[in-house]
Structure 1
Amino acid sequence: MTATTTRMIFVNLPVKDLKASMAFYHALGFRNNPQFTDDTAACMVWSEAIHVMLLTHDKWRTFTDRPIPPTTSSEVMLAISCDNREAVDAMNKAAADNGGTADINPMQDLGFMYNRNLADPDGHVWEAMWMDMAAIPGATDEG
């Protein structure tokens, strides 16, 4: 029998101000893993499977020569689930209160799914979302 390992994702993001970015992500509910944090990088943990590596621009450039997109660009939108609508709203407010931008795209409320988009201080786009799987249109209990 083979032991199973939990698959993880490490999202690497270039940031201008590491300390400010760490404070921003902490305010959103991420916690810091000091084992992978130094003056050039910080590991911010959302869950056992999801980690965000904040990398100074100099550190980022050790991994790639590709240009860092401007803060007005959207290279990717990262969606993370929240426990309820209130948590989505709280994350959006925390973004606005901690150097980010709230509601960079229109809020979406489909009844069974609710999301709001925010940007961190470097313009990286996040979608805070909540979904009620049992309320999805067309979902039935029949197999």
Structure 2
Amino acid sequence: MPQQIYINLPVKDLARARAFYSALGFTLNPQFSNDDAICMVVSDTIHLMLLTEPFFAGFTGKPIADATKTTEVLLCLSRDSRAAVDELVAKARAAGGAVPRPPQDYGFMYGHGFEDPDGHIWELSFMDMSAAPPH
């Protein structure tokens, strides 16, 4: 079985978070979802766990960062093309997300991102390895 990653993020409104990530094309896994948390499937190996802030707090003794004011983590997903990057950013914007900065073209890599309604920033990238500089 391949290794999987479960990204756990605190959210203020579970229903709003579910609607936002559903609009991006992520699907609900009801097996790991209840009134305190939902699991959104990003891919076969990546799962997004959206936890209400009180439930999230039960897993840490540290204060929960307000992602609208501070950066707690930078998340990045690869896409198969520049068009796929821009398509997901457009879906995020249409679902109520923000676009914190314009796209960046680094020659061999194209990056663009969005911010979800809770302030978590997602970077999306497409890498053209044929254009990558040598090591």
State the TM-score, normalized to the length of structure 2.
0.92
- Unpaired runs of at least 5, structure 1: none
State the TM-score, normalized to the length of structure 1.
0.87
Matched, 1:89 2:89: no
Partner of 1:42: 38
Partner of 1:79: 76
Q: 1:96-128 CA distances to partner (integer Å, 9 max, x unpaired)?
A: 1112111x1342112321111211111111001
Q: 1:73-113 CA distances to partner (integer Å, 9 max, x unpaired)?
A: 111111101121111111111111112111x1342112321
Give secondary structure in 2 for the equivalent of 1:128.
strand
Give secondary structure in 2 for the equivalent of 1:13.
strand
CA distance in 2: counterparts of 1:43 and 1:119, whole angstroms: 19
Partner of 2:95: 98
Matched, 1:120 2:104: no
Q: CA RMSD in A?
A: 1.4
Matched, 1:61 2:54: no
CA distance in 1: counterparts of 2:55 and 2:80, whole angstroms: 34
Number of residue pairs matched by the alignment: 134
CA distance in 1: counterparts of 2:61 and 2:51, whole angstroms: 14
Question: Percent of pairs identical after alignment?
Answer: 50
Structure 1 runs, 4 residues or longer, greater than 2 Å off:
none
Matched, 1:32 2:28: yes
- My pick for the range that moved more, 109-118 or 13-22, is 109-118
